[in-house]
Amino acid sequence: MKTYRVNILGCRGRGTAAARAYHAHPRTEIVGLCDLIDERLNTLGDEVGVSARFTDLDEMIRQTEPDIVAIPTGTEFHYDLCMRVLEHGVHIEVEKPMCVDLVQADDVIAKAQEKGARVAVHHQGRVGAAMQAIGQAFTAGKIGELRYIYGSGKGYYGGYGLMNIGAHMLNNMLKFGGHCRSVVAQATTDGHPITPGDVVPSPSGMGTIACEHITAALQFEHGVTGTLLQHRFDRMDSAGYAMELYGSEGRLVWKSGSAWWLPQPHFIPDGTHDRWEVLEAIYPEHYDPQGAASEADYWFVEEYVRALDGGRAHECSGVEGRHVVEIMMGIFESAAYRTRVDLPQKNREHPLLRWRSEAGLGRPAEMPRPYGEWLSAEFKRLGR
C-alpha cells in the first residue's frame, strides 16, 4: 500500500502538531520541512528525524516531490501559500479557517480543481476520537431524528471567536446538519448593535471582524435548525466549547476528547431522566496514545490516507472549509445589515468591508496581532 510523502510548511505550534501526526502514522512519511526561522526548522527536524530542511517552499517541493503539503501557518498567509503550493499540483491541508474571505476561498478551490489536487482544511475535531463515537451513536439512531444543534465557543471576543473556534464548531455542526441554507445573527459590541465603526482587524491575522457578542440562528438542510454562540467572557471558559445534538429520542454532547449520550430527548434533573452515559472514544487501531501525536491530529491524517486511497475528498474538504467561511461571512453580513442572509452569498466580498465602504469609511486602522494586546487596544477604543 502506498506511503504518502508529506511536506510541512511552517514549524511553529500547529506545524509541530501536524508533523508529529504525520511522523507517527504508518502510511505517511515526512520528506521535507520549510520555515524561515532556522531554530524552529532545526528543532522540529531533529524531533521527527527529517534532514531535508528548506527556507524556500518551491525548492522543497521540487526536490522532495510530496503527495501532501501541510500549511499550518497564520491565516493571513493561507491564500498565498495555498495558491503557490497548488500550482505544483500537490494535495494540501491548510489550517483553519481556510481563508479570510470568500474571494480567497473561491480562488483556492478553483486552483485545486484546475490542477487536479485535493484540499483538506484542518478541522481535526470533526474526525477526532470523541466525534467518531458521536457519529457512530448518531448513525445507529440513538437519538432518533435530529431536530436541533447547539454550539458554543470558549469566551473569545465574538468576531474573533467566530473566525477561530467558531470555524471548528461550524464544521462539526455541518457533519450532522448538512449544509447551512441561511443565517440570522444578533450581534453587539459594548452593549449596542454594531456600527461600521466597530469593524476592526482580527487578532491572529484572521481578516476583518466585528461583534463582541454573537448569537446566530442557523437553518440547515432537511429542516434542522441550530444556534451558535460566540460571546466574550471576562474569563475564558474552555468547558463551554461544546456541541449538543437534540433528537426526537435522545441527545448527544460532544466536547473535545469526550462524548455523552442521554437516552431521552428532555434533560430533567430528577435522578431518573438525567442519566448521561459516557460514550467510549474510538481510535485507529494503530494509534499509540503514549506517543507525541494528538489523537485528533492523528485521525485527521488517517482520514486523509483513506480519502486518497479511495480517490475521494477528505471529510474536512476544501468545499466544506469554504462553506464554513460562507457561514461566517453570512453571520457578519446579517449582523451588519440586520437581515436574514441566504447562503451561498452572491456577493463574495467581505461584507464588513463592504459595509464600511458604503458608510464612507476605508479599511480599519491596524491593531496588535497577539490576542491579549489586541483586546487591550479594543477596550481602549471603547473607552473602558
Q: Give per-residue pLDDT as tens, 243-280.
A: 999 999 999 999 988 999 999 998 888 877 778 999 99
Q: Which H or E run contains 204?
A: none
In single-letter form, the type of residue at position 210 comes to A
Cell, residue 87: 500550482
Count of helix runs (H) and strand runs (E) in the chain: 12, 18
pLDDT in tens, 218-240: 999 989 999 999 999 999 888 88
DSSP class of residue 2 equals P
pLDDT in tens, 143-165: 999 999 999 999 999 999 999 99
CA angle in degrees (0–180, nearest 5) for 343-169-258: 150
What global pTM score does this model have? 0.96
In single-letter form, the type of residue at position 200 comes to V
First CA to last CA distance, the chain:
60
DSSP class of residue 115 equals H
**Phi, psi (rounded to 5 degrees) for 315:** -55, -35
| Distance separating alpha carbons of residues 141 and 184, to the nearest angstrom | 30
Domains of the chain from N-terminus onward: 4-124+294-312 (3.40.50.720), 127-278 (3.30.360.10)
In angstroms, the Cα distances linking 51 to 15, 44, 55, 59, 101 are 16, 10, 13, 15, 36
Average pLDDT, the chain: 96
| Distance separating alpha carbons of residues 201 and 210, to the nearest angstrom | 8
82 HSE (CA, 13 A, CB side): 33
Cell, residue 135: 457519529
pLDDT in tens, 49-86: 999 999 999 999 999 999 999 999 999 999 999 999 99
pLDDT of residue 268: 82
Q: Is the peptide bond before 284 cis (omega within 30 degrees of 0)?
A: no
